[in-house]
Structure 1
Amino acid sequence: MKFSEILTLSAALAIASAAPMKRADDVEITFHGAAGAQFTQISASNLNILAILATKQKLTFPANPLSISKISSNTANIECTFTGINNSHTTVYGIAEVDVGPPQAQVTGTCRQLPSHRRRSDNILVTFIGAGDADFIQELPTDRSYQLINNVFSVSHIEVDDDVSCRFDGVDGSVTTITGPSTVDVGPPQTQKGGSCWIN
């Protein structure tokens, strides 16, 4: 079965009910709640569906009422997208940990392998520009992994000189996307929390 094929619900249920046995090529996703509570779901890497332990009783997945605030992946070169009980949509690229907003139990999820041209580990330089042309530069990988930006500088423009795309999140809720080479505005200007980049 190809990675991109979708399993039927009955097959997904079989995966959910079986005791997970981790293999070297498995995808392992960990769901993090408050006060260190968490659970891990394992899916064979050649499957497109990741059977999530869900609280939505109209589904027949085993119930897990844990409210999830973060989701992490241990596997490079994959993209996993999850839907929460209150319609959150959370995407994890590669080896990364991302926030669920707002925190909630997770209902479904799918994973896919990223195309081979996105497997490069080359890094790029991103320039974050503030008032009066003050700026700072951070090196980011192009594997879609989410990277924290540890600088409280208020950013009004973001610039990349390479043939890549990036997405950045601001502390006040801004979402800035850029396809390079170009410079884009951040609106309104604000400190950037983190972001990810990938090759076009």
Structure 2
Amino acid sequence: MKASTIIGLFIAVTTASAIPVQPRHDNVEIVFIGAADAQFTQSFPSDGSVVSINNPLSISHISSSTGGIQCTFNGIDHSVTTVSGAETVDVGPPQTQLTGSCWSQETESTTPPDNSAGGMVSVIFIGAADAQFEQSFPVNGEWISITNPLSISHIQSTTAGVTCVFNGIDQSLTTVSDGLVDVGPPQTQVSGSCSM
């Protein structure tokens, strides 16, 4: 009786361990292509979080082989390049890339951003002598251009649970999460991305 219980447990454990575990595909492999086919590959999470790119290679094309994912990349000379699904996109003009973020297009299509508090976040950009402007950003990680030329000293968001990243014209990278953050040194902001 004792032997049959042990054999039964052994069969149950062996059967459970034989069940294949499906790997999670939370990362997207992106290929950055420069002149003379020089290139590098970097992984990005598909949750919309912003990731720094530290390779100084000047990039002419960005390629993804993953369908259903959209990625946006910011260049050192203020390019904003979006790759949707499995495609190769030109970067114009070619330049070093600074940051990137990727998110699922399926998630975005089932819950489109709207103007409610759940889909957009309002950010205040503050310059000298209390000059300021306000701009809304979707919370899906998409990079949005900022066209106001005001030199910015502080950036403020009052939306809890949302993190935003902003690129300045002189290569500042400012991260804001529910509060007021200094921009150093003060400069015009060129693009921003927010995610929950």
Contact 2:71 2:103 in 1 (8 A): no
Describe the superposition over 1:77-132 as per-residue Cα deviations: whole angstroms up to 9, x where unpaired.
Answer: 667977758599x9x99453532688369xxxxx7759x7xx77301110000111
Give the counterpart letter for 1:178 in structure 2: V
How high is the TM-score relative to the length of structure 1? 0.50
Give the aligned partner of residue 145 of structure 2.
148
| 2:95 equivalent in structure 1 | 103
CA root-mean-square deviation = 4.5
Please tell me whether residue 4 in structure 1 is matched to residue 25 in structure 2: yes
Q: Which has the larger radius of gyration?
A: 2
Residue 131 (structure 2) aligns with: 134
In the alignment, the residues of structure 2 paired with residue 179 and residue 53 of structure 1 have an alpha-carbon distance, to the nearest angstrom, of 30
1:77–1:94 contact (8 Å) kept in structure 2: no
- Retained in 2: the 8 A contact 1:127–1:158? yes
SS in 2 for 1:65: helix
Q: Secondary structure in 2 aligned to 1:125?
A: strand
Structure-to-structure mapping, 1:41-120, within 5 angstroms: 48=27, 50=29, 52=31, 65-66=36-37, 86=57, 94-99=70-75, 103=95
Distance, in Å, in 2 between the alignment partners of 1:186 and 1:197 is: 17
CA contact (8 A) 2:172 2:183 kept: yes
Cα shift at 1:65:
3.1
1:53: how far off? 8.1
Q: 2:175 aligns with which of 177, 181, 190?
A: 177
- The residue number in structure 1 matching 2:5 is none
Code of the residue aligned with 1:167 in structure 2: it is V
Q: Is the 8 A contact 1:127 1:160 kept in 2?
A: yes
TM-score, with structure 2 as normaliser: 0.51
Query: In structure 1, how many angstroms separate the alpha carbons of the residues matched to 2:57 and 2:176?
Result: 29
Change over 3 Å in CA distance of 1:67–1:132 after alignment to 2: farther
Q: Size of the alignment, in residue pairs?
A: 134
Match of residue 38 from structure 1: none
Alignment of 1:168 with 2:166, yes or no, is: yes
- CA 1:78 to 1:66, structure 2 compared with 1: closer, same or farther past 3 Å? farther
Instruction: Tell me how far 1:137 sits from its aligned partner.
Output: 0.4
Q: Aligned partners of 2:171, 2:48: CA distance in 1, in Å?
A: 26
Cα pair distance change 1:94/1:77, threshold 3 Å: farther
Q: 1:159 aligns with which of 143, 156, 159?
A: 156
Unaligned segments of structure 1, at least 5 residues: 6-47, 56-63, 69-75, 106-110
Q: How has the CA–CA distance of structure 1 residues 51 and 195 changed in structure 2, closer, same or farther, with 3 Å as cutoff?
A: closer
Secondary structure at 2:129 match in 1: helix
Give how far 1:50 is off. 3.4
